[in-house]
Structure 1
């Protein structure tokens, strides 16, 4: 994978574009590490995937976006650090958190210590957001409010929006999400 990434970087240095199939090959190599690395492969190959899907033909050249170049550099620098899977994995969590959003605000709490709650009202600019964006914002705001209580702990988070689970796990092509 490092050799393939180096090949792409050298193409970009010379002619500023790269053969689509080379980039698609690297994306495939990255995705194939999912069982060892986990959801990070989807998050850190997202822009590369978008760039690969842009041209009309597999036999064309593309100019990679800055975000794709940053993702290539990430994999080149950090593959040895993230390429670690322990045979015995402790799946237990230290805290369970629930969060939810409504049209007017958000809230959440830690099950083990229900006095540790976070809640608030949406500001005017947040009120017209989609339900998915509101749920994502609720997770973020509750997380930031409770960070001192969960820092260094494994947390299991519950939300009633499956899109939020997928976006947190794999990312989304919509930059706002």
Structure 2
């Protein structure tokens, strides 16, 4: 499956905040919205967070040093805002949906698409039963295709800790999926 949100190695952003914001919104708008939804599990709150992320990116563009990729920087802003909002709102009304289900895909047959969506939803339910720090690394690694170094930067946690969480999350998830008969 092709990952739609890969930042191109030779991608350059304007030094003008307005132009950079437009490019960042085009390149990462959907990613920010899906990430916000993953954390807060509320569509309307996710949309509000997405707007706030881009406002902050615009205001702080001149301070962006390039120590990480723009993608990592914008996701770090998103995660921090989501965590801030979760401190204020712990109960949500919507259940999570796989980020891949929010976008159209190219299956040839309706039956195949339905089966794939069911499988993704089942796996995501198990992911959402993991402790939050495991959910986070699984989401960033598998759904956003972040490296462990990028995850470390995005969640401001040592890379060794990220690798440990990822390893343990895989183990727990595998045990859960095997118990449910969803894995070999």
Task: Give the alignment's TM-score, normalised by structure 1.
Answer: 0.29
More helix by share: 2
User: Greater strand percent: which structure?
Assistant: 1
Larger-gyration structure (1/2):
1
